[in-house]
Copies of this chain bind each other. A is one copy, B any other.
Amino acid sequence: MSQNTAARRGRGRRPAAEVRAGVLAAAGHILLAEGLRAVTFDRVATEAGSSKMTLYKWWPSPGALAAEAYFTQSDRTLQFPDTGDLRTDLITQLSSFIRWLTDEGAAKPVSELVGASQTDPDLAHAWSNSYALPRRELARVRLRTAQEQGQLRRDADLDIIVDQLWGACYHRLLVLKVPFDDTLAERLVDQALHGATPHTT
Protein backbone atom coordinates (compact mmCIF):
# COMPACT_ATOMS: atom_id res chain seq x y z
CA MET A 1 0.00 0.00 0.00
CA SER A 2 1.52 3.33 -0.98
CA GLN A 3 1.76 6.15 1.50
CA ASN A 4 -0.58 8.26 -0.62
CA THR A 5 -3.26 5.58 -0.65
CA ALA A 6 -2.95 5.30 3.11
CA ALA A 7 -3.25 9.04 3.53
CA ARG A 8 -6.27 9.31 1.22
CA ARG A 9 -8.28 6.73 3.10
CA GLY A 10 -8.33 8.88 6.22
CA ARG A 11 -8.52 7.67 9.77
CA GLY A 12 -10.30 5.08 11.82
CA ARG A 13 -11.86 2.95 9.11
CA ARG A 14 -9.22 0.38 8.28
CA PRO A 15 -8.71 -2.96 10.03
CA ALA A 16 -5.95 -2.87 12.64
CA ALA A 17 -3.70 -5.29 10.72
CA GLU A 18 -3.83 -3.05 7.66
CA VAL A 19 -3.06 0.08 9.67
CA ARG A 20 -0.18 -1.72 11.39
CA ALA A 21 1.24 -2.87 8.04
CA GLY A 22 0.95 0.68 6.69
CA VAL A 23 2.74 2.15 9.68
CA LEU A 24 5.55 -0.41 9.47
CA ALA A 25 5.96 0.20 5.73
CA ALA A 26 6.13 3.97 6.23
CA ALA A 27 8.62 3.62 9.12
CA GLY A 28 10.73 1.22 7.05
CA HIS A 29 10.89 3.60 4.11
CA ILE A 30 11.92 6.52 6.31
CA LEU A 31 14.51 4.37 8.13
CA LEU A 32 16.19 3.14 4.96
CA ALA A 33 16.09 6.50 3.20
CA GLU A 34 17.07 8.83 6.03
CA GLY A 35 18.27 6.80 9.00
CA LEU A 36 17.07 6.11 12.52
CA ARG A 37 16.83 9.71 13.72
CA ALA A 38 14.23 10.51 11.07
CA VAL A 39 11.90 7.81 12.44
CA THR A 40 9.74 9.86 14.82
CA PHE A 41 6.10 9.13 15.74
CA ASP A 42 5.08 12.46 14.20
CA ARG A 43 6.72 11.79 10.87
CA VAL A 44 5.60 8.15 10.61
CA ALA A 45 2.00 8.99 11.57
CA THR A 46 1.88 11.67 8.88
CA GLU A 47 3.36 9.45 6.17
CA ALA A 48 1.20 6.44 7.07
CA GLY A 49 -1.99 8.48 7.44
CA SER A 50 -2.44 7.16 10.98
CA SER A 51 -2.96 8.89 14.31
CA LYS A 52 -0.01 9.38 16.62
CA MET A 53 -2.14 7.89 19.43
CA THR A 54 -2.23 4.59 17.53
CA LEU A 55 1.56 4.52 17.34
CA TYR A 56 1.94 5.29 21.05
CA LYS A 57 -0.47 2.44 21.79
CA TRP A 58 1.44 -0.14 19.75
CA TRP A 59 5.09 0.76 20.20
CA PRO A 60 6.90 1.86 23.37
CA SER A 61 9.27 4.13 21.43
CA PRO A 62 10.16 5.21 17.89
CA GLY A 63 13.26 3.00 18.17
CA ALA A 64 11.12 -0.08 18.84
CA LEU A 65 8.92 0.79 15.86
CA ALA A 66 12.03 1.23 13.68
CA ALA A 67 13.38 -2.18 14.71
CA GLU A 68 10.14 -3.94 13.79
CA ALA A 69 9.92 -1.96 10.54
CA TYR A 70 13.45 -3.07 9.68
CA PHE A 71 12.44 -6.70 10.02
CA THR A 72 9.45 -6.14 7.71
CA GLN A 73 11.62 -4.40 5.11
CA SER A 74 14.38 -6.97 5.19
CA ASP A 75 12.16 -10.04 5.22
CA ARG A 76 11.66 -10.15 1.47
CA THR A 77 15.39 -9.77 0.78
CA LEU A 78 16.74 -12.12 3.40
CA GLN A 79 14.71 -15.29 2.82
CA PHE A 80 16.50 -18.60 3.28
CA PRO A 81 16.43 -20.58 0.05
CA ASP A 82 16.37 -24.40 0.02
CA THR A 83 17.59 -25.87 -3.26
CA GLY A 84 18.84 -29.01 -1.51
CA ASP A 85 22.47 -27.83 -1.68
CA LEU A 86 23.49 -26.17 1.58
CA ARG A 87 26.69 -24.53 0.33
CA THR A 88 24.88 -22.83 -2.55
CA ASP A 89 21.98 -21.75 -0.35
CA LEU A 90 24.21 -20.27 2.35
CA ILE A 91 26.22 -18.35 -0.24
CA THR A 92 22.97 -17.08 -1.82
CA GLN A 93 21.57 -15.93 1.51
CA LEU A 94 24.79 -14.31 2.74
CA SER A 95 25.30 -12.60 -0.62
CA SER A 96 21.76 -11.16 -0.37
CA PHE A 97 22.51 -9.96 3.16
CA ILE A 98 25.78 -8.32 2.07
CA ARG A 99 24.11 -6.71 -0.99
CA TRP A 100 21.29 -5.51 1.27
CA LEU A 101 23.86 -3.85 3.55
CA THR A 102 25.99 -2.37 0.77
CA ASP A 103 24.14 -1.79 -2.53
CA GLU A 104 20.68 -1.41 -0.99
CA GLY A 105 21.84 0.98 1.73
CA ALA A 106 20.91 -0.98 4.85
CA ALA A 107 24.38 -0.68 6.42
CA LYS A 108 23.65 2.72 7.95
CA PRO A 109 20.21 1.93 9.46
CA VAL A 110 21.40 -1.46 10.71
CA SER A 111 24.47 0.11 12.37
CA GLU A 112 22.28 2.80 13.91
CA LEU A 113 19.70 0.28 15.17
CA VAL A 114 22.25 -2.07 16.72
CA GLY A 115 24.22 0.92 18.03
CA ALA A 116 21.21 2.56 19.69
CA SER A 117 20.01 -0.79 21.04
CA GLN A 118 23.08 -0.89 23.33
CA THR A 119 21.63 1.92 25.45
CA ASP A 120 17.86 1.84 24.62
CA PRO A 121 16.16 -1.14 26.31
CA ASP A 122 12.88 -0.82 24.31
CA LEU A 123 14.77 -0.82 21.05
CA ALA A 124 16.99 -3.68 22.26
CA HIS A 125 13.94 -5.76 23.13
CA ALA A 126 12.25 -5.06 19.79
CA TRP A 127 15.46 -5.75 17.86
CA SER A 128 16.05 -9.12 19.54
CA ASN A 129 12.45 -10.26 19.39
CA SER A 130 11.37 -8.85 16.04
CA TYR A 131 14.57 -9.38 14.13
CA ALA A 132 17.68 -11.05 15.50
CA LEU A 133 16.25 -14.12 17.23
CA PRO A 134 13.58 -14.95 14.57
CA ARG A 135 16.24 -14.63 11.89
CA ARG A 136 18.57 -16.95 13.80
CA GLU A 137 15.71 -19.45 14.00
CA LEU A 138 15.26 -19.32 10.19
CA ALA A 139 18.96 -20.06 9.77
CA ARG A 140 18.79 -22.93 12.25
CA VAL A 141 15.85 -24.48 10.36
CA ARG A 142 17.82 -24.47 7.11
CA LEU A 143 20.92 -25.88 8.82
CA ARG A 144 18.90 -28.57 10.61
CA THR A 145 17.46 -29.76 7.29
CA ALA A 146 20.97 -30.02 5.87
CA GLN A 147 22.07 -31.89 8.97
CA GLU A 148 19.23 -34.41 8.56
CA GLN A 149 20.32 -34.87 4.93
CA GLY A 150 23.88 -35.66 6.02
CA GLN A 151 25.38 -32.42 4.63
CA LEU A 152 26.46 -31.38 8.13
CA ARG A 153 27.92 -33.60 10.81
CA ARG A 154 25.53 -35.03 13.40
CA ASP A 155 27.42 -33.14 16.10
CA ALA A 156 27.80 -29.89 14.14
CA ASP A 157 26.97 -26.93 16.39
CA LEU A 158 24.28 -25.04 14.48
CA ASP A 159 24.21 -21.97 16.74
CA ILE A 160 27.96 -21.62 16.40
CA ILE A 161 27.65 -21.78 12.60
CA VAL A 162 25.06 -18.99 12.71
CA ASP A 163 27.38 -16.91 14.91
CA GLN A 164 30.28 -17.54 12.56
CA LEU A 165 28.50 -16.71 9.30
CA TRP A 166 26.33 -13.72 10.15
CA GLY A 167 28.40 -12.68 13.17
CA ALA A 168 31.38 -12.28 10.85
CA CYS A 169 29.40 -9.77 8.75
CA TYR A 170 28.34 -7.78 11.82
CA HIS A 171 31.97 -7.89 13.04
CA ARG A 172 33.12 -6.17 9.84
CA LEU A 173 30.22 -3.73 9.84
CA LEU A 174 30.13 -2.69 13.50
CA VAL A 175 33.45 -3.50 15.14
CA LEU A 176 36.22 -3.45 12.51
CA LYS A 177 34.40 -1.07 10.14
CA VAL A 178 36.13 -2.57 7.11
CA PRO A 179 34.47 -2.79 3.70
CA PHE A 180 32.77 -5.93 2.43
CA ASP A 181 33.94 -7.50 -0.80
CA ASP A 182 32.40 -9.73 -3.43
CA THR A 183 34.20 -12.88 -2.33
CA LEU A 184 33.24 -12.62 1.35
CA ALA A 185 30.11 -14.82 1.30
CA GLU A 186 31.88 -17.70 -0.41
CA ARG A 187 34.96 -17.48 1.82
CA LEU A 188 32.81 -17.44 4.97
CA VAL A 189 30.77 -20.45 3.90
CA ASP A 190 33.76 -22.53 2.80
CA GLN A 191 35.63 -21.83 6.03
CA ALA A 192 32.52 -22.72 8.09
CA LEU A 193 31.96 -25.95 6.18
CA HIS A 194 35.55 -27.16 5.86
CA GLY A 195 37.49 -25.56 8.70
CA ALA A 196 41.07 -24.33 8.66
CA THR A 197 43.17 -27.35 9.60
CA PRO A 198 44.98 -29.44 6.98
CA HIS A 199 42.61 -32.08 5.53
CA THR A 200 45.07 -34.88 6.19
CA THR A 201 45.11 -34.54 9.98
CB proximity of A197 to chain B, nearest CB, Å = 5
B175 A170 Cβ-Cβ under 8 A: yes
Surface stretch bound by B, among A17-25, A51-59, A155-163: A155-163
Collect the chain B residues with CB atoms within 8 Å of residue A118's CB: 111-112, 114-116, 174
Q: A168 at the A/B interface (Cβ < 8 Å)?
A: yes
Collect the chain B residues with CB atoms within 8 Å of residue A124's CB: 177
CB proximity of A46 to chain B, nearest CB, Å = 24
CB proximity of A109 to chain B, nearest CB, Å = 10
Q: A192 at the A/B interface (Cβ < 8 Å)?
A: yes
Q: A138 at the A/B interface (Cβ < 8 Å)?
A: no
Q: A193 at the A/B interface (Cβ < 8 Å)?
A: yes
How far, in angstroms, from A169 to B170 measured CA to CA in the complex?
11
Surface stretch bound by B, among A8-16, A68-76, A98-106, A128-136: A128-136
Q: A167 at the A/B interface (Cβ < 8 Å)?
A: yes
A132 B175 Cβ-Cβ under 8 A: yes
Collect the chain B residues with CB atoms within 8 Å of residue A1's CB: none
Copies in the complex: 2
Q: Which residues of A from 144 to 196 have beta carbons under 8 Å from B?
A: 150-153, 156-157, 160-161, 163-164, 166-172, 174-177, 187-188, 191-196
How far, in angstroms, from A198 to B150 measured CA to CA in the complex?
8
CB proximity of A107 to chain B, nearest CB, Å = 10
Q: A50 at the A/B interface (Cβ < 8 Å)?
A: no
B198 A153 Cβ-Cβ under 8 A: yes
How far, in angstroms, from A161 to B151 measured CA to CA in the complex?
22
How far, in angstroms, from A175 to B132 measured CA to CA in the complex?
7
Collect the chain B residues with CB atoms within 8 Å of residue A188's CB: 160, 163-164
B160 A168 Cβ-Cβ under 8 A: yes
Given contacts A115-B117, A119-B115, A199-B153, whether A164 and B177 have CB atoms under 8 Å apart is no
Collect the chain B residues with CB atoms within 8 Å of residue A193's CB: 195-197
Residue contacts A-B, CB under 8 angstroms, 16 given: A114-B175, A115-B115, A116-B118, A117-B177, A150-B198, A153-B199, A157-B196, A160-B191, A163-B172, A163-B188, A164-B188, A167-B171, A167-B172, A191-B192, A192-B195, A193-B196
